[in-house]
Amino acid sequence: QGDEVMKSRDERRPLDVMSIYPRDMNIYGDWGNVLTITRRLTLYGYEPIVHTYNQGDPWPEHVDMILGGGGQDTGQKKIADDFFKRADTLRQLVQEDVPMLMICGMYQLFGEYFETIDGTRLDGIGVFGVYTEGRESRMIGNLVEHSEQFGDVIGYENHSGQTFLREGVQPFGHVDREGWGNNGKDRTEGAIVHNVIGTYMHGPLLPKNPAVADFLIHAAAVHRYGEFQPQQSEEQKAELAHINEIVANARGVAAS
Out of 202, 218, 223, 242, the active site residue is 202
Q: Considering the complex, what minimum distance in angstroms separates the CB of residue 23 from ligand GLN?
A: 14
Kindly give, in sequence order, each residue whose CB lies less than 8 Å from that of residue 24, ignoring residues fewer than 6 positions away. Answer: 54, 55, 71, 75, 76, 78, 79
Nearer to ligand GLN, 45 or 68 (CB): 68
73 touches ligand GLN by CB under 6 A: yes
- 104: annotated active-site residue: yes
C-beta separation of 68 from 79 below 8 A: no
For residue 77, CA distances in Å to 38, 55, 137, 235 come to: 29, 12, 20, 45
150-169 residues near ligand GLN, rule: CB under 6 A = 158-161
Span between the terminal Cα atoms of the chain, in Å: 43
Nearer to ligand GLN, 109 or 144 (CB): 109
Among 105, 124, 173, 207, binds ligand GLN (CB under 6 A): 105
70 touches ligand GLN by CB under 6 A: yes
| Site mask for ligand GLN (CB under 6 A), range 16-45, x = bound | -----------x------------------
- State residue 116 phi and psi, 5-degree precision: -75, 170
C-beta separation of 113 from 131 below 8 A: yes
- 174: annotated active-site residue: no
Is 138 within any annotated ligand binding site? Answer: yes
Q: Across the strands, what pairs with 147?
A: 151
Residues belonging to the active site: 104, 202
Interaction site with ligand GLN (CB under 6 A): 27, 70-73, 76, 104-105, 158-161
